[in-house]
Amino acid sequence: MTTPHTAASTPPPTDPHAPDPPTTGVAAPAHTGSSATRTLGLVTLAAMALLVFLAFVASPRDQVQGDLVRLLYIHPALAWTAYLACGVATTASIWHLVKKTPGSDVLAHSAVEVGAVLTALTLATGSIWGRPTWGVYWVWDARLTSTALLFLLLLGYLALHRIDAAPEVRSRRAAVVGVLLVPNVVLVHQSVEWWRTLHQDPTLARRDFDFATSDLFMFTLVYSVVVMSLVFTWLLIHRFRVGWLALQAEELWLDTAIEARRAEGAGTTEPAETTRTEPPRSEGGLP
């Protein structure tokens, strides 16, 4: 069953969050949902259901593509969101290099992670579409090739963000790769496209298929892009919140670590009259 359950995991508003009594007295739900994103999730679910209906039931077979046209209601939309994710990642990375705010790094990292999933799906659906259309899973088509390289670039970013280093170090280095993401994609795309157009045998001309363009086809195509953008937005928001929470958890830990460090200092002081222990300070820690 292909029911989209993109937002199915959005917790219900009355979540009892039973297993976490030790959090502070405020009865905030322990998850990353908010009423706005719950609404967004429900809208996305409904829109996705409608897309499935349009793609499989309402829209006709294409004269050239046959039923395969139904894959086009998802593949270009995925590719669009993958590129959108790159754009977000690069913008956020520039922002991070200029302003050095932790949030911009979380945003860039989130966009790259979501983008990597979407790029992988773009490649998968592209290959699945290519098998019946071209007879092979992979052709050195310009778009497919440059998307594959984009996937590798995203993996590089994620690997760099996973290094064992101070958060600022990690963020700064990742941001440099993030800034270069879009220029790299452009360069890769340009080179691959020239390469394939200068050397290509004409079989791929079939890529520019000749649709018996029904209105419904065009509508579904555009609509799929809208739906996938909604999915992307939902994923990005939640991924951002997860990253933000991880950052907060790290800072909380840091506060306690500083306390522990001070206690260590107090505990190992010199004995008796030479000692002038620092008074405990209420402020301090991270701004």
Partner 1 sequence: MWRDALLVAGKDLRIERRSRVAVNQILPVALAMLMLFGFALDPDSPVLARATPGLFWVVVLFVTVLAVERSFSLESADGVRDALRLSGLHPGGIFLGKFAALAAQLAALQVVLGFGVVVLFGRDLAGYPLLLATLVAATAGIAAAGTLYGVLAAGLRVRETLLPLLLLPVLAPVLIAATRAFETALDGVPSDGWPWFNLLAVFALIYTGFGILAFGSLLEDS
Partner 2 sequence: MEPVIHFRSAVSLLGRFPALAGVDLEVDPGEIVLLRGPNGAGKSTLLKVCSGLLPVAAGTARVLGVDLTEDRHSIRPRVGLLGHATFLYDELTVADNVEFWARAARADLDDAHHAMDRLGLAGRLRDVRVARLSAGQRRRVAIAVLLSRRPELWLLDEPHAGLDADGRDLLDGLVVEAARAGATVLFASHELDRALSVAHRVVTIAGGVITTDEPITGATGPTAHTVGRPDDVVDVGRPDDVA
Partner 3 sequence: MSGDMTYILAGWGVTLATLGVFALSLAVRGRRLSRMVPAERRRWTS
> Could you tell me if 41 and 231 are in contact, meaning their C-beta atoms sit under 8 angstroms apart?
no
14, 16, 18, 26: residue in contact with partner 3 (rule CB under 8 A):
26
Region from 11-19, 68-76, 188-196, 257-265 binding partner 2, contact rule CB under 8 A: 257-265
275 in contact with partner 2 (CB under 8 A): yes
- Cβ proximity to partner 1: between 150 and 221 the closer is 150
Residue 94 within binding range of partner 3, rule CB under 8 A: no
CA dist., res. 149 & res. 59, Å (int): 33
Instruction: Determine if residue 285 is left, alpha or beta; phi over 0 gives left, psi from -120 to 50 gives alpha, anything else beta.
Output: left
Of the candidates 74, 52, 72, 56, the residue with the CA atom closest to the CA atom of residue 64: 72
160 near partner 3 (CB under 8 A): no
In the complex, minimum distance from the CB of residue 112 to partner 2, in angstroms, rounded to a whole number: 22
Task: Name the residue nearer to partner 3 (CB basis): 174 or 230.
Answer: 230
Is residue 143 close enough to count as binding partner 3 by CB under 8 A? Answer: no
Radius of gyration of the chain (CA): 25
Residue 242's closest CA among 5, 9, 3? 9
Evaluate whether 89 touches 178 at the Cβ level (below 8 Å). yes
Applying the rule CB under 8 A, the residues between 196 and 255 that interact with partner 2 are 250, 253-254
**Cα 55 to Cα 75: distance, rounded to the nearest angstrom:** 12
Token pair of 225 as six digits: 């892009």
Q: Which residues bind partner 1 (CB under 8 A)?
A: 97, 149, 152-153, 155-156, 159-160, 163-166, 168-169, 172-173, 176-177, 179-180, 183-184, 187-188, 190-192, 194-195, 198
What is the spatial distance between Cα 31 and Cα 9, in angstroms, rounded to a whole number? 11
**Site membership for partner 3, residue 224 (CB under 8 A):** no
197 binds partner 3 (CB under 8 A): no
Least distance between partner 1 and beta carbon 129 (Å) = 24
Taking CB within 5 to 8 Å according to partner kind, which of partner 3, partner 1, partner 2, none is near residue 234? partner 3
Three-state SS annotation for 61-79: CECCCEHHHHHHHCHHHHH
